[in-house]
Amino acid sequence: MTWIINLRDLLRMNKPIVIDDQLELNEASKLRQELLHADPLRVNLTASAKLGTVEVEGEGQAALDMQCSRCLGTFKFELRFPILERFRLQQDESELTEEDDIHLVDTDQVDLRPFVEESFWLALPFVYVCREDCQGLCQACGTNLNERDCGCTQDNIDPRLAALQDFFKKE
């Protein structure tokens, strides 16, 4: 199994190829602190030629150990993400028009791994909570409010939401 496709072969033979493989993420936790661990991505792709363009389409799945942004507890999260990339050989100068969603490449071989990784990072949500109604930690004493009520007086406003409300007041 290989992650490298040959554009020229695909375009010439017009026979789709399927890639069904696992991909280990590079240094996942260095990019996103909240991502504590990622199992290898499970990826299924089909590469096919369409009118001079090679289209790579499919889906990835990732089992992740995340840290909740509110209560700092860990939880498991299953992320599914779509993958769609288009490649075209940059054969002569006249074809240099840079179309937004088509990668113009000047070599026959394309390694799909970086594109799969990028699709994963783009699909990963920016805020991770263990559950939608996670109460987070008490701002005063640090108690996990999902587990018990510490009794500190506090309004129930998430500090980030409070900051947003202030922001809108200024408008």
Interface with Zn ion (CB under 5 A), residue total 11
| From 12-20, 50-58, 109-117, 144-152, span contacting Zn ion (CB under 5 A) | 144-152
Fill in the amino acid letter for 117: E
123 binds Zn ion (CB under 5 A): no
130 binds Zn ion (CB under 5 A): yes
CB 102 within 8 A of CB 87: yes
Please, which of residues 145-164 interact with Zn ion by CB under 5 A? 150, 152
| From 90-98, 109-117, 126-134, 155-163, span contacting Zn ion (CB under 5 A) | 126-134
Task: Closer to Zn ion by CB, 112 or 137: give it.
Answer: 137
| From 8-16, 79-87, 106-114, 129-137, span contacting Zn ion (CB under 5 A) | 129-137
Helix (H, G, I), strand (E, B) or coil at 88: strand
Q: Which helix (H) or strand (E) is 153 found in, with range? A: none
d(CA 89, CA 8): 8
The CB density around residue 60, as the number of other CB atoms within 10 Å, is: 21
Strand partners, 23: 41
One-character DSSP codes across 21-59: EEEPPSSHHHH-TTEEEEPPEEEEEEEEEETTEEEEEEE
124 binds Zn ion (CB under 5 A): no
d(CA 60, CA 120): 8
Smallest distance, Zn ion to C-beta of residue 148, A: 10
Between 46 and 85, how does the x/- string for binding to Zn ion read (CB under 5 A)? ----------------------x-xx--------------
Positions touching Zn ion (CB under 5 A) are 68, 70-71, 130, 134, 138, 140-141, 143, 150, 152
